């Protein structure tokens, strides 16, 4: 299998959940976002930037995830993924939601193969990009071997 460089949108991290990190949730294949997160962490090169990890943290707190599990999840991501220092100021095709641009810039500057998101604003930009491929989780799961 070809290892890919992958950026995961916040909706993927939140949907992956955090209960599985302390043994109270199922790790198995019932949660496509969790399967993708684990596959990226173990087989591919996940990418994040400071803005992205900040948004992950903010959304997990807002969704009232257990603080200890949040710490474990953010630690997993920061330990298994590579940090990207953003240099590009503006994405060639900009999303409607300004917060989504951080994911595009990370994917561009991190030379990502995939940006996985179930956010319509990002998915609507898929035709504007050949690299990264912007894909919904249902499409990315097969490509990532999850």
Which two structure tokens, joined as six digits, stand for 100? 């989504």
For the entire predicted model, the pTM comes to 0.93
Q: What pLDDT is recorded for position 18?
A: 86
| pLDDT for the residue 30 | 78
Domains in the chain, CATH or no CATH each: 5-143 (3.40.50.1010)
**Cα-based distances in Å from 102 to 2, 31, 85, 86, 105:** 26, 25, 11, 9, 5
Distances (CA, A) of 49 to 2, 43, 64, 66, 137: 23, 20, 23, 23, 20
Q: What is the mean pLDDT of residues 112-132?
A: 95
Q: Say how far apart CA 52 and CA 46 lie, in whole Å.
A: 12
CA–CA separation, 69 vs 77, rounded Å? 12
Please give the pLDDT value at position 28.
62
In the chain, what percentage of residues exceed pLDDT 70?
95
Q: And the tokens for 1?
A: 């299998």
Q: What pLDDT, in 10s, does the model give residues 80-111?
A: 999 999 999 999 999 999 999 999 999 999 99
E-strand ranges in 21-78 read 45-48
Please give the average per-residue pLDDT across 26-52, as a whole number. Answer: 89
pLDDT at 24: 62
* pLDDT in the model for residue 51: 96
């Amino acid at each position: 299998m070809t290892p890919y460089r992958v950026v995961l949108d916040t909706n993927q991290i939140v949907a992956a959940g955090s209960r599985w990190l302390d043994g109270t949730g199922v790790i198995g294949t019932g949660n496509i976002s969790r399967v993708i997160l684990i596959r990226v962490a173990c087989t591919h090169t996940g990418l994040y930037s400071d803005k992205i990890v900040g948004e992950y943290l903010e959304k997990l707190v807002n969704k009232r995830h257990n603080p200890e599990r949040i710490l474990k999840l953010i630690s997993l991501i920061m330990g298994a993924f590579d940090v990207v220092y953003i240099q590009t100021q503006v994405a060639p095709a900009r999303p409607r939601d300004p917060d989504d641009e951080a994911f595009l810039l990370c994917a561009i500057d991190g030379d990502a193969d995939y940006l996985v998101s179930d956010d319509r604003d990002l998915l609507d930009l898929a035709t504007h990009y050949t690299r990264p491929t912007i894909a919904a989780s249902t499409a990315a799961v097969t490509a990532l071997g999850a």
